[in-house]
Each structure stands twice: as structure tokens, then as C-alpha cells.
Copies of this chain bind each other. A is one copy, B any other.
Amino acid sequence: MGAVRRRLAEHAWEGVEPIAYHDPALGGVEKHELVGPPDGAQGYRVRYFHVPAGGRTARERHPHDHTVVIDRGRARVTLGDAVVDVGPGDVVYVAGDELHCFEAVGGEALGFICVSPPARPRPASR
């Protein structure tokens, strides 16, 4: 059965609780899980990241890829060895194992849609 998630404000959707992201020192990034396996989507999940002005996502690499579509604000994007600036409507594909980081620049908050494969269980710690 389908579902509708209405946007209530710039980073708020009906029925979606924001999740604080990683280290608070990164500036208060929020994740919003918009659609994923709990809805029946088997192959992907769709999230929204809100990055306050001056904040950034973790600088990381991992096996799964991402597709990002900028919703608002400006991002300075680390993508492997490159650094590129992007804005609303621009699309960034981050390949698996590629270093990446999205930083909110220009004195405004950054918001982007992020598509990725469904989360896999983390390996048990030893």
C-alpha cells in the first residue's frame, strides 16, 4: 500500500521523526527517513539531510553508493580527489568506496535528498 508524506516545513515531514546524525560537532545535521524497507521498498531508501549553515556531513567512504539531489542551499562537495560546489537541483552520484563530504557553504542551511541501497546490518563487534 502506498503512502504520502507531506512536507510540513523546510525540514519536517508528517509522520517522520528527524534523527540526529553522528558527531554533534559537525553542526547539528539531521536525517529524515522518508521512504525505505518499512514501506515495502526493497531496493533503496530515500532520506533527507538537513545541514545547518556552516555544518557538514561526515567525511567518509563506504561500500554503498549514494545519489544526492540538492534541495536548497549550497554545498561544497568532496568527491574523491575533487571538490565541487553545487546548488539546488544539481545531482551528485557518489560511487561505492568513494570519499565524500557535503558542507553547507554560503551562510545558509543545506538540504538534500539522498538515495542509497537499504541499510545492511552492521557486523557484530568482537
Interface positions of A (Cβ within 8 A of B): 1-7, 13, 34-35, 39-44, 46, 65, 67, 69, 71, 77, 79-80, 84, 86, 88-96, 98, 100, 113, 115, 117-118
Least CB distance, A70 to chain B, in whole angstroms:
8
Asked if B92 and A3 make an inter-chain contact with CB atoms under 8 angstroms apart, the answer reads: yes
CA distance A94 to B4 in the complex (A): 9
This protein's copies in its complex: 2
A and B contact pairs by CB, cutoff 8 A, 20 listed: A1-B80, A2-B79, A2-B95, A2-B98, A3-B93, A4-B79, A4-B86, A4-B91, A5-B90, A7-B90, A34-B69, A34-B91, A35-B67, A35-B91, A35-B93, A42-B117, A44-B44, A44-B117, A46-B67, A113-B113
Q: Which residue on chain B has the smallest CB distance to residue A82?
A: B2
Least CB distance, A74 to chain B, in whole angstroms:
13
A2 and B92 contact, Cβ closer than 8 Å, known pairs A67-B41, A69-B113, A115-B115: yes
Q: Which residue on chain B has the smallest CB distance to residue A16?
A: B91
Least CB distance, A102 to chain B, in whole angstroms:
12
CA distance A94 to B35 in the complex (A): 10
